[in-house]
Amino acid sequence: MKIYEFDTVDSTNSEALRIMKETGDMSFAVSSNVQTAGRGRFNRVWQTPRGNVAVTIVVPVPENKNEMSTIALVTGLAIYDVLSSLVTKSRTLTIKWPNDILINGAKVSGTLVEANEKALFVGVGINRVAKPEDIGYPTVTLGEITDADTSNLVHSLVERWEDYYDMWQTYGFGALVASYNSRMHFFGESIRFSLDENKQHWISGNCKGIDEKGHLLIEDKNGNVSSHFSGEFESPL
């Protein structure tokens, strides 16, 4: 897959859309040393100072549209695999549902998946040398742990993502559920879970992992399991 490399863009997802419109290409990646208007889930600001990793992977909208929401989880698996070779066994690498990557419970990477009628835009940010402060949860940089080259990270991530995407297209997300659950943060633990962006509505229970749709499964004290498409974890009970 071709990778377009830039020094500075507003957002790699936005730049990818412009490239697609200009070239007609719908299978490529975009990386940039700096993002001036990066964004994350719920339209939150994603900071990308020089030295961090920002990359967007573009592919045509897949035929199995019913499973498109699981692409975010597939991306989490790809990032996990790339970082697992860099993080020593003395540290714990996990995926916080749906796609945040944590090192010892601190966030090092996030994903934003967007789509239009023609293509998917899978944006990934990795804190390589800098991390956001005062955002309400712990963060970490790869530089605190290892010396990882930005270009190598980008190329490794794109290659690994393509591998997982091929598996996803061939076998469906169900084939990846066990792999995801084995890497999942809070798996088997008692948690609080917010059902809305403003964190006004909460449930609690035991995290049972995810199902074949990528939905979070929570078991209450009576043994009833509920399935959730969206929401956010709080720390374990």
pLDDT at residue 237 in the model: 53
* 89 has pLDDT over 90: no
Q: pTM of the entire structure?
A: 0.91
Q: Are residues 196 and 166 in the same domain?
A: no
Q: What share of the chain has pLDDT > 90, as a percent? A: 64
Q: Which amino acid is at 59?
A: V
Does residue 42 sit in the same domain as residue 70? yes
Specify whether 107 is located in the same domain as 223: no
What is the edge-to-edge ordering of all strands in the sheet holding 190-194?
Answer: 225-228, 216-219, 202-210, 190-194, 232-236
pLDDT band at 235 (very low <50, low <70, confident <90, very high): low
Percent of the chain with pLDDT over 70: 92
- Do 232 and 132 share a structural domain? no
**Tell me, what's the pLDDT at 44?**
57
Mean pLDDT, the chain, rounded, equals 89
Neighbouring-strand partners of residue 59: 120
Give pLDDT tens digits for 187-205. 999 998 888 767 778 889 9
Alpha-carbon 209 to chain mean position: 16
pLDDT surpasses 90 at 234:
no
Tokens for 93? 């690498």
Rounded distance between C-alpha atoms, residue 55 and residue 154, angstroms: 7
Q: Give the whole-angstrom CA distance, residue 70 versus residue 8.
A: 30
Distance CA 172, CA 64 (A): 8
Pair 53, 128 in one domain? yes
- Give CA–CA dist 23/206, Å, rounded: 48
Determine the pLDDT at residue 43: 54
Angstrom distance (rounded) from CA 87 to CA 22: 39
**What is the count of structural domains for the chain?**
2
User: What does the pLDDT look like over 2-53, one tens digit per residue?
Assistant: 999 999 998 899 999 999 999 999 999 999 988 886 655 545 555 667 888 8
Looking at the fold, whether 86 and 152 belong to one and the same domain comes out as yes
Residue 160 sits in the same domain as residue 231: no
115-168 pLDDT, tens per residue? 999 999 999 999 998 887 767 789 999 988 888 888 899 999 999 999 999 999
Shared domain check, 128 and 94: yes
Q: What is the CATH number of the domain that holds 143?
A: 3.30.930.10
Domain match, 75 and 142 both = yes
Query: Distance (Å, rounded) from C-alpha 128 to C-alpha 147?
Result: 9
Same domain, 125 and 156: yes
Q: Which domain holds residue 145?
A: 2-182
pLDDT, one tens digit per residue, over 123-136 is 999 999 888 776 77
Instruction: Give 130's contacts (C-beta < 8 A, 6+ positions apart).
Output: 47, 49, 51, 52, 141
Specify the amino acid at residue 77. Answer: L
Distance of CA 164 to the CA centre of its chain: 13
CATH number at residue 206: 2.30.30
- Give CA–CA dist 180/192, Å, rounded: 20
The amino acid sitting at 135 is: I
Q: Are residues 158 and 196 in the same domain?
A: no
Q: Which residues contact 107 (CB under 8 A, 6 or more apart)?
A: 96, 100, 101, 127, 137, 138, 139, 140
Residues 149, 201, single domain; the answer is: no
